[in-house]
Chain A
Amino acid sequence: MESFSIVSGTAAPLPAANLDTDVIMPKRYLKGVDREGLAIGVLHELRFDADGRPDPAFILNQPGWTDAAFLVVGPNFGCGSSREHAVWGLRQLGIRALIGTTYAGIFYDNCARNGLLAVTLSPEEIASLLVLVSDAARNRLTIDLPAQTLTTADGEIHFNIDANLKLRLIEDLDGVGATLKDADRIRAFEAAYHAERPWLASGRRSSY
């Protein structure tokens, strides 16, 4: 996973509300057992026509946005299925950060686990940003995660982010490895927890 510090790039407007993970990563790209080859699947029905050619009407196929590193998105982005393939695909397509008002919970966690920064701004800030980045001459941004700022052609916007999440993105932590340092604590918790709940302790397999 690539760590995130200061990243500059082009931002593309994607204002639709409730863009779900079925649209972000259609199901026919979910038949693998690894994380490879998902870039082609991202927003496939929006990016390509029925014959598989890039649809010139879609923003990411237009001059000025083809190399977008950021997406400015509508509310409740990533709702629906828990499929992490949506986030893997966005990263493989070169997307480093999303900028929106609200994200679905599982999707937001999936972003955090894969170095995809999901910035949360107010509806007013997103509305102005959508107008700004719709102009190909003014659609470059810089996100400084340590400073928690987003710099546009119009100025600087501060954003809030959970401190642990920020650290995780900057340091590119191995989440499992970090938790396993607490293994003794987990074992102690588990023993006490099950002792108080004898009906759970058997860990019985179903013989139904």
Chain B
Amino acid sequence: MRQSRTLYDKLVDDHRVRSFDAADSALLLYVDRTVLNEYTSPQAFTGLREAGRSVWRPEAALGVVDHVNPTAARRVRAMPDPGGQKQTDYFHENCRDFGIELYDILHPLQGIEHVVMTETGRVLPGMVIAAGDSHTTTYGALGALGFGIGTSDIEHYLATQTVTYSRLQTLRVEVTGALGPGVAPKDVVMALIREIGAAGATGFAIEFCGAVIEAMSVEGRMTICNMAVECGARGALVAPDDKVFAYLKDKTGLTAEAWRDAVAVWRTLRSDPDALFDRTVILDGARIEPMVTWGTSPDQALPIGAVVPDPEAEPDDAVRRDLKRALDYMGLTAGMPLEAVAIDRAFIGSCTNARIEDLREAADVLRGRRIAEGVRGMVVPGSSAVKRQAESEGLDKIFSEAGFEWRQSGCSMCLAMNDDVLAPGERCASSTNRNFEGRQGLGGRTHLMSPAMVAAAAIAGRLTDSRRLDR
């Protein structure tokens, strides 16, 4: 075993049931918990049924309906879409038959799986959590190694409590200094993705560190870990600190003694001072500005004050072709200021940016203002608990008075598997994580940005620098 280890290697070593190779890179990895959703799990359960297998540890799984459910004000179990209905019916049957707890659409704790898992205290430092959704990386904010898996691996997990795993390389991302006023965690991760590219961390687990990360709230760290997958990282960690312990204190239900023992161990979960990383990237926090995407890949992002790039300036043929295609899809022309891009829709939601802090950040911008004529704004809280919290703080009124629709929780228009979709050609300022072609609806155009930037864009009716709106 290596003398000095990174936090990532400690977590992997702690969960190694066995190695498959001499280099200790191919492993059978023990997984502490999972969360299941209705659309990536059905075939996994069918596989178990057909092979006559049971679930190894049903109490270590939670089912949450989040992707296909409508977000209209009045909740009912019936889905307007027969496919969604079939998936949720089968999900109910599977959770019941295999003894897995389910937060269905009418459950008071329903929400987006990654929001629910953290806010109910199911994610603890030192855990490994694998789940059938790529944004499982979110859990790194609490010092847990979370990563997305496919349906075959869900079946493997359910039957064995393990996954076969290839050890990743480690990438240390240090964000130095301090963020300027009005610069959000979303801007930090978008600046990173732009810097290293959409495949920049493929094959790596990221450890975020530095003064900016230390100063960042736990929810802010969730945002950056959540989006680390958009630069290819299959895991993103922040060493757990007192902020994390304070975040968890009232959520775990542990006895005082168990809590004390746990925290003592959790404090050791950090990279050794002389641990070697395979690669290091340093970002100067003071230079990060509010970011927006202009294209169809999350790395096609720029500071809001920039102009749409010119493909002709790109020397590489393949890259130039991709840029042209992105501009064509997005209906933009080279040289156009990003702040001149008019929007039709504003969406605040998703596992990236629909936690209570995100809603507060957007509401701060919207307080006492109205969104522009012709813009349709939607707020979809990350969970039912977030929704209730926001209502207790009066945020729902701020959103409604500004002209936003206040809706029920779910994944909603982040991936538009329910009835919340962009029409072809509609342009949306979005707090989500992906601006892929067709992501928010066939032919829809997505610009990613922080919740405050979405709010500002809704007010201006076009992409705009939220820092110009005094709060």
Task: Report A's interface with B, CB cutoff 8 A.
Answer: 15-18, 20, 22-23, 26-27, 30-35, 45, 74-76, 79-84, 87, 102-107, 109-110, 113-114, 162-164, 175-177, 179-180, 182-183, 185-186, 189-190, 193, 197-200, 203-208
Contacts and interface: CB of A to CB of B under 8 A. Distances in A.
Given A18-B198, A113-B152, A179-B164, A33 B59 contact: no
A105 B203 contact: yes
A32 B83 CA distance: 6
7 A-B pairs with the lowest CB-CB distances in the bound complex, closest first: A31-B83, A76-B199, A113-B152, A84-B150, A33-B42, A110-B150, A105-B234
A37 to B, nearest CB: 12
Contacts of A75: 199
A47 to B, nearest CB: 13
A182 B28 contact: yes
Interface of B: 14-15, 17-18, 20-21, 26, 28, 30, 32, 39-40, 42-43, 46-47, 51, 53, 56-57, 59-60, 62, 68, 81-84, 86-87, 90, 101, 109, 120-122, 124, 126-127, 132-134, 147-153, 155-156, 159-162, 164, 166, 198-199, 202-203, 230, 232, 234, 251-254, 258-259, 261-262, 265, 297, 299, 318-319, 321-322, 325, 415-417, 434, 436-439, 442
Given A84-B152, A206-B101, A45 B438 contact: yes
Contacts of B150: 82-84, 87, 106-107, 109-110, 113
A4 B36 CA distance: 31
Given A17-B319, A76-B199, A34 B261 contact: no
Contact of B232 (A79, A109, A175): A79
A34 B83 CA distance: 11
A82 B114 CA distance: 14
A189 B439 contact: no
A179 B156 contact: yes
Contacts of A32: 42, 83, 86-87
Contacts of B14: 193
Nearest to A83: B40
A113 B40 CA distance: 15
A20 B434 contact: yes
A164 B83 CA distance: 37
Given A27-B415, A75-B199, A106-B148, A34 B43 contact: yes
A141 B252 CA distance: 56
Contacts of B59: 203-205
B26 A204 contact: no
B446 to A, nearest CB: 11
6 contacts: A16-B325, A22-B436, A110-B152, A176-B51, A186-B28, A189-B17
Which of B39, B42, B90 counts the most chain A CB atoms within 10 A?
B39
Nearest to B318: A15
Given A31-B83, A175-B164, A199 B121 contact: no
A30 to B, nearest CB: 6
Given A80-B436, A199-B262, A106 B39 contact: no
A208 B261 CA distance: 22
Contacts of A23: 436-438
Contacts of A18: 198-199, 297, 299, 322
B161 A186 contact: yes
Contact of A199 (B160, B254, B299): B254
A170 to B, nearest CB: 16
Contacts of A176: 47, 51, 53, 155-156, 159-160
B319 A186 contact: no
Nearest to A17: B322
B197 to A, nearest CB: 8
A51 to B, nearest CB: 14
Contact of A186 (B39, B81, B121, B162): B162
Contact of A179 (B62, B90, B162, B230): B162
Given A81-B415, A84-B151, A106-B150, A197 B265 contact: yes
Nearest to B43: A35
Contact of B87 (A26, A31, A45, A203): A31
Contacts of B26: 162, 164
A182 B17 contact: yes
A80 B17 contact: no
Contacts of B202: 76, 102-105
Nearest to B203: A105
Nearest to B257: A198
Nearest to B233: A105
A21 B222 CA distance: 23
A93 B265 CA distance: 50
Contacts of B152: 84, 110, 113-114, 175
A175 B154 CA distance: 12
Contacts of B322: 16-18, 74
A82 B198 contact: no
Given A31-B81, A84-B40, A180-B159, A193 B325 contact: no
Contacts of B251: 208
Contacts of A30: 39, 417
B132 to A, nearest CB: 6
Contacts of B133: 81-82
